[in-house]
Amino acid sequence: MSDVADIRDLTVTFATDGAPVTAVSGISLAAHAGEVLAIVGESGSGKTVTANTLLGLLPETATLSGAVIIRGADGETDVVHATHAQLRAMRGRDAAMVFQEPSTALNPVYTVGWQIAEGLRAHQKISRAQAKVRAIEILRTVGIPDPERRVDDFPHQFSGGQKQRVVIAMALVLNAGLIIADEPTTALDVTVQAEILELLRTCRDEFGATIVLITHNMGVVADLADRVIVMYRGDIVEQAPVRELFASPREPYTKELLAAVPRVGAGKSRTQGQDAAASAPTEAPADAVVVARAAEIGYPGRFGRGGVVAVKGVDFWVAPGEVVGLVGESGSGKTTIGRALVGLTEVMGGSLTVLGTEMRGATNRRLAPLRPEIGFVFQDPATSFNPLLTIAECIAEPLIVHGRARSPRAARARVDELLDAVRLPTAFGDRFPHELSGGQRQRASLARALALQPTLLIADEPTSALDVSVQATVLELFAQLQRELGFASLFISHDLAVIDEVADRIVVLRHGVIREQGTTAQVLGAPRDDYTKRLLASLPVPDPVAQAARRQEWERTREG
């Protein structure tokens, strides 16, 4: 009786152009009233399909079997066999959804108040004025300041975290017993993520809502979940209460998954030692690969409009053979700096020298001799390869352009060498980018960046689009290649734990200004800046016991 959602023997099959694909194969699970049930798994594990099934949100190409029962206050609904009308009545009233990307989950042309009222009007007869009162009330509950005024604002007038609060408000306003949150914090910054997790906890504790949390982030699971279900390739691998799962995972897959999660304090910050910090240089060495002095970087305006300065005067350097981690939240200007090093964004003031060449006002011609010396790894491996060329042709492109080979065929020997270096089978060279998985593509991307043996490698969030276990192997590969080839690197990431794995020194960036820089051990072990401290405190650790203690610590820093 106390199960709010009950899935029995659910199988979901999708029709495709090729053979049908089974996304979920015969799983059974139940969400008990008032608990947070986390479904974790890598991409392709079927966790999102399972969540969408709960609301009957699958596309027409899907075929369902089994039973999915949603129990609300007014009876139960079998989603698999329900009519459209029954589904519509159930959605919002008994179960609601919080989407991953709050900026696309809200309709940009209506006010948030209207959108909250829309849900109310769909289920009950309610006057416009009454709906607005309820909307203001619920906005206040989810922590939107000054709700009487904000209720008439449009989604673009809210920040990312506030938009997610509005989406949660829409889920709460009808008092749905079940809230399905599909990666609710993935698109948000760490400091905002901590606040949203706090809000979801309030939903459970004060509204008695049951939350089905879909996520790949073990830190989030440790922070919020009561019970965890681990999925792999459409099947349930293990389910257990959260402390039990983290303390003593039974299945080998779960163990692997937990071991792959990077933790702050487990990487270079541990091996480096504090004495290295003391002897760290505070001035750029004479042979530094990159030197920035009061560099202002941005986007100049067009047609007489003023430009935007994204990076407001930064000083940092990258010494030869050194990995510098650039950390910051979205909008901090970290990607802008990375792109400026290769001339993709413009240096508008100060000075930025790369390998002795001044980037301010540099023309394409002056940058040409620099190109073979710099490699670049992009964030999204899915789009950083020309989809019409084979992997071998893509990797051969720099070799051909710089005259090291005349055709892709002539370059093949070197390409095979590179594929071997990044531990990909050489036969993969004949495949097209879409035929490789994300991790394989990112290795190929690394191979392309290293094709000309650069002295500087810029890696822009190279692992943030990858699953944890894949991320771990790519990071390991990166560290190994860096040791062997000795290139200097600027490693850009929003994830402190990832930076800890690879970086020798860390630069913390916020709103285009450097807040703190120093050796990894120093910045992560003994942060001096308040922002760095907050960043570290917001990061959920994949351990429920430690995270509970950290959460109290975080609440203290927030009040203080």
User: CB of residue 409 vs other proteins: minimum separation in angstroms?
Assistant: 14
196: nearest Cα among 228, 234, 223, 232: 223
In this structure, what are the phi and psi dihedrals at residue 365, rounded to the nearest 5 degrees? -65, -40
Which residues in the 275-334 window bind other proteins by CB under 8 A? 302
Tokens standing for 227?
């019970």
Please identify which residue in 3, 6, 8, 11 interacts with other proteins, judged by CB under 8 A.
Answer: 11
Q: What torsion, rounded to 10 degrees, do the Cα atoms 374, 449, 315, 360 define?
A: 40
User: CB of residue 81 vs other proteins: minimum separation in angstroms?
Assistant: 9
> Does residue 435 bind other proteins (CB under 8 A)?
yes
Q: What CA–CA distance (Å, rounded) separates 519 from 521?
A: 6
User: CB of residue 408 vs other proteins: minimum separation in angstroms?
Assistant: 11
Please identify which residue in 146, 148, 205, 430 interacts with other proteins, judged by CB under 8 A.
Answer: 430
> Does residue 270 bind other proteins (CB under 8 A)?
no
Q: What CA–CA distance (Å, rounded) separates 4 from 76?
A: 9
Q: What CA–CA distance (Å, rounded) separates 460 from 387?
A: 20
540: nearest Cα among 45, 171, 38: 38
User: CB of residue 248 vs other proteins: minimum separation in angstroms?
Assistant: 29
Residue among 113 and 433 whose Cβ is closer to other proteins: 433
Please identify which residue in 73, 85, 109, 388 interacts with other proteins, judged by CB under 8 A.
Answer: 388
> Does residue 61 bind other proteins (CB under 8 A)?
yes
Residue among 123 and 404 whose Cβ is closer to other proteins: 404
In this structure, what are the phi and psi dihedrals at residue 420, rounded to the nearest 5 degrees? -65, -40
Burial 364-386 (b: 16+ CB within 10 A, else e): eeeeeebbbbbbbbbbbbeebbe
Contact window for other proteins (CB under 8 A) among 43-51, 106-114, 154-162, 519-527: 43-51
Which residues in the 221-260 window bind other proteins by CB under 8 A? 233-234
User: CB of residue 169 vs other proteins: minimum separation in angstroms?
Assistant: 26
The site for other proteins, by CB under 8 A, has a size of: 56
Please identify which residue in 3, 6, 8, 13 interacts with other proteins, judged by CB under 8 A.
Answer: 13
- From the centroid of its chain, how far is CA 514? 22
Contact (CB, 8 A) for 456 and 373: yes
In this structure, what are the phi and psi dihedrals at residue 312, rounded to the nearest 5 degrees? -105, 75
Helices 408-421 and 438-450: angle between axes, nearest 10 degrees = 110
Q: What CA–CA distance (Å, rounded) separates 468 from 221?
A: 14
Contact window for other proteins (CB under 8 A) among 222-230, 304-312, 378-386, 413-421: 378-386
> Does residue 38 bind other proteins (CB under 8 A)?
no
What 3-state class would DSSP assign to 67? strand
Contact window for other proteins (CB under 8 A) among 149-157, 248-256, 350-358, 368-376: 368-376
Sheet holding 227-232, edge to edge: 95-98, 178-182, 210-215, 36-40, 227-232, 235-241
Residue among 66 and 241 whose Cβ is closer to other proteins: 66
- Residues in contact with other proteins by CB under 8 A are 11, 13-21, 23, 43-44, 48-49, 61-65, 233-234, 302, 339, 342, 344, 367-368, 371-372, 374, 376, 378-380, 382-390, 397-398, 401-402, 430-432, 434-435, 437-438, 448
